[in-house]
Amino acid sequence: MNICHFTNTFSPHVGGVARAVQTLLEDQRDAGHRVLVVAPEFAEGAAPPRIERSVVRIAALTHFNDSDFSVRLPLAAALEDRLSDFPADLIHAHHPFLLGDTALREAAKRGVPIIFTHHTLYEHYTHYLPLQAEAAGEFAAEVATRFANRCAAVVAPSRSVRELIVSRGVTTPVHVIPTGIDTALLATGDRNEGRLAHGLPDEAPVIGHLGRLAAEKNLRYLATSIGLALRARPEARALIVGDGPARAEMEEVFRSLGVAGAVVFAGKLTGRRLRDACAAMDLFAFASLSETQGLVLAEVMAAGAPVVALDASGVREMVRDGKNGRLLPPDAPEEFFARVLVNGLRRVATRLRWAEAARRTAATVDRTRTNRRLLSLYEGLVREQSRTVRDAAPSPALARIMTEGHILADKAGALLRAVTGASSAVAAAATGSAAGGAGGSGSPGLVPAASS
């Protein structure tokens, strides 16, 4: 097959979607398929040559709104001859906007099926937009739902995401196929080399974290939890791998708790250095509530690190409480999270048992398994499209006109829903406040403390 991926983020950008698309590119190319990735330019440059040779870069505004994301320039993709000349049998979109719109146009023009992977809970990323938060969240979720319903199939990285998007109104068939990881390679990290590289004492218990340091990852909560655990275990250390705009906030939290000297910020790592760093971790701490799969959890589990995390979509499929780590209530106070970390570091035999179970969990999402399932889905969609084309497909010109109308209508409909939804929420809040102030039954939303 000739497979064309459209993504708003790709190497050298570091993140779950970028890694996922690169994994698909490599595996599908190795399986004998022709693969092209359409992605924006990034200020950091290009991917390694073995990857970049299969990539078309679209002119983009880098570091959009002070983030590490790039936003493609309008109509830039239409100017790419290499994209026009690629005879795609199927298009795979990894975002519902920007290059996602281009993917819809290309699929309509070519008369080929389009599939969408719902990698991201977009409502958790609206702080990158200059819009009112509640309305922006509603808009982002609605755009993703409408986009999904324009596709031939949708891939959800986890069961919980499938349930969520179906509840929001996705009627296109949704297939649960996790993003795959290379479990054998991830298990090759060297603990001693990882500790030596970052100045970590060999005997010190190490709490680790890996990921982009950004607001949507709930990092103030995480830093507070790790900091409290380090205060309770002065001999312990923390290793934070990754970088991003929230690093300064995390550093401030650690300083305020008096544990800054016990924390190593390793920055962005790749390849052997990343695998060694993961092997150096005794326990992995994760507090994000915005994941669809928790790809990073599978990666550190493959390296043998058990996980302490908050119960959320994507996370609960990977972490089995008391089996390969601990899964805590999403409203657990930082003190409780810290206490669980301390107990995990103290109970060495339990932690080693969790580590073995973590490796077995990671094996369930090995890339050889997940890629076979995805390619099987592709093949079925291409066969079905062939039958549709023979029977009653619109002309390419009509298909393009219809698709452009759908894109405009979907964006307008999502915006209208967001504005009216936000207005209704504000009105309801005001009504509730008035009722409460007048002695009604309304009461503040108290968060129950988690029990240990």
Alpha carbons 407 and 413: distance in angstroms, whole number: 10
Alpha carbons 192 and 184: distance in angstroms, whole number: 19
Residue 23 belongs to what domain range? 2-180+366-424
pLDDT given at position 75: 53
Domain termination site, one of 335, 363, 391: 363
Are residue 278 and residue 342 in the same domain, yes or no?
Answer: yes
pLDDT band at 3 (very low <50, low <70, confident <90, very high): very high
Are residue 173 and residue 89 in the same domain, yes or no?
Answer: yes
Q: Confirm if 149 and 414 have CB atoms less than 8 A apart.
A: no
Across 354-375, average pLDDT? 96
pLDDT given at position 409: 85
Are residue 87 and residue 24 in the same domain, yes or no?
Answer: yes
Are residue 387 and residue 341 in the same domain, yes or no?
Answer: no
Alpha carbons 357 and 375: distance in angstroms, whole number: 29
Q: Is residue 346 part of a domain?
A: yes
Give yes or no for a cis peptide into 96 (omega within 30° of 0): no
- On the question of pLDDT at 328 being above 90, the answer is yes
Are residue 319 and residue 210 in the same domain, yes or no?
Answer: yes
Among 177-181, 382-386, 441-445, the minimum mean pLDDT is found in 441-445
- Provide the number of structural domains found in the chain: 2
Across 184-196, average pLDDT? 97
Q: Is residue 220 part of a domain?
A: yes
Are residue 99 and residue 68 in the same domain, yes or no?
Answer: yes
Across 162-188, average pLDDT? 95
pLDDT given at position 443: 30
Tokens coding 445: 């939303």
Are residue 210 and residue 346 in the same domain, yes or no?
Answer: yes
Tokens coding 105: 């146009």
- On the question of pLDDT at 449 being above 50, the answer is no
Q: What kind and span of H or E run contains 35?
A: strand 34-40
Look at 125 and 394; give whichever has higher pLDDT: 394
Are residue 130 and residue 233 in the same domain, yes or no?
Answer: no
pLDDT given at position 397: 72
4-8, 64-68, 414-418, 447-451 — most confident range: 4-8
- On the question of pLDDT at 82 being above 90, the answer is no
Distance of CA 158 to the CA centre of its chain: 11
- On the question of pLDDT at 66 being above 70, the answer is no
Q: Is residue 430 part of a domain?
A: no
Are residue 247 and residue 331 in the same domain, yes or no?
Answer: yes
Are residue 163 and residue 219 in the same domain, yes or no?
Answer: no
The CATH number given to whatever domain includes residue 345 is: 3.40.50.2000
pLDDT given at position 131: 52
